[in-house]
Amino acid sequence: MRHLRLFAISLLIGAPAALCAQVSVSPNVTTPAAWERFAIRVINQTDTATVAVRVEVPEIIMLLGVQPKPGWTVQTVPATDSTPNVITWTGGTVAKGQFDEFAFLGRLDPNAKEEALGFPVQIKRANGSVVDWRKRPGELYSAPRVQIGGTVSISPAGQIALSVAAVGLAIVSIILTIALSAKRRTV
């Protein structure tokens, strides 16, 4: 009896981890203004084939293109004021014990702040069942996440160029001020 309870407890503890591991996103970390190949990885741990994958692209990412997949049809729905870009792959299958990647190219906004971006994913099985990964971290079926790290930085050469430009503007401003003052005195 004790072994059955331990087995049941291990199933309960292991099930959420297995479910959460069915969908992930790569890379784990990106930076503002970066052009990235984002890949949604889907593993099928059920007896029913996965036949559709839908991902919502966070609005802070400009969708540049979707990588074609042999055997799959891709559909993109552009963002609106109230909805994000959506990419849906259909027509192929991911059988039990297999995985596949669904990739797209995106550019992160240069003003992005350091935070974690969630990529809500929905998979559809051949039997019509649908599983949504859109919840917060730590919850069952949490959306895969990418961490935004760092900020857009200026190279040392860029910093020198900006400093020179600032000094140049200051000199022009001083010259114009002197010229206007001299003109007012003569009038």
- Range of the structural domain that residue 112 is part of: 20-148
Q: Tell whether 62 is covered by a domain.
A: yes
Are 75 and 129 within one domain? yes
In this structure, is residue 46 part of a structural domain? Answer: yes
Region of residue 150 (phi > 0: left; psi between -120 and 50: alpha; otherwise: beta) = left
The verdict on residue 8 lying in a domain is no
Q: What is the rounded average pLDDT of the residues 150-164?
A: 64
Residue 167 pLDDT class (50, 70, 90 cuts): confident
Between 47 and 175, name the one with better pLDDT.
Answer: 47
Residue 10 in domain: no
pLDDT beyond 70 at 16: no
Asked if residue 4 is part of any domain, the answer here is: no
Residue 182 and residue 132 in one domain: no
Residue 123 belongs to domain with CATH number: 2.60.40.2230
Domain assignment of residue 72, yes or no: yes
Q: What is the pTM of this model?
A: 0.69
Three state DSSP letters for the chain: CHHHHHHHHHHHHHHHHHHHCCEEEECCEECCCCEEEEEEEEECCCCCCEEEEEEEECCCEEEEEECCCCCCEEEEECCCCCCCEEEEEEEEEECCCCEEEEEEEEEECCCCCCCEEECCEEEEECCCCEEEECECCCCCCECCEEEECCCCCCCHHHHHHHHHHHHHHHHHHHHHHHHHHHHHHHC
Q: What is the pLDDT of residue 162?
A: 66
- CA–CA separation, 40 and 23 (whole Å): 7
Instruction: Kindly tell me if the per-residue pLDDT of 18 is higher than 90.
Output: no
Q: Is residue 13 part of a domain?
A: no
Q: Is residue 118 part of a domain?
A: yes
Domain count, the chain: 2
> Are 72 and 142 within one domain?
yes
Asked whether the predicted pLDDT for residue 5 surpasses 80, the reply is no
Residues 76-128 pLDDT 10s: 999 998 999 999 999 999 999 999 999 999 999 998 888 899 999 999 999 99
Quick one: 36 and 63 in the same domain? Answer: yes
Tell me, yes or no, whether 161 and 126 share the same domain: no
Same domain membership, residue 119 and residue 30: yes
Query: Which tens digits make up the pLDDT trace of 36-85?
Result: 999 999 999 999 999 999 999 999 999 999 999 999 999 999 999 899 99
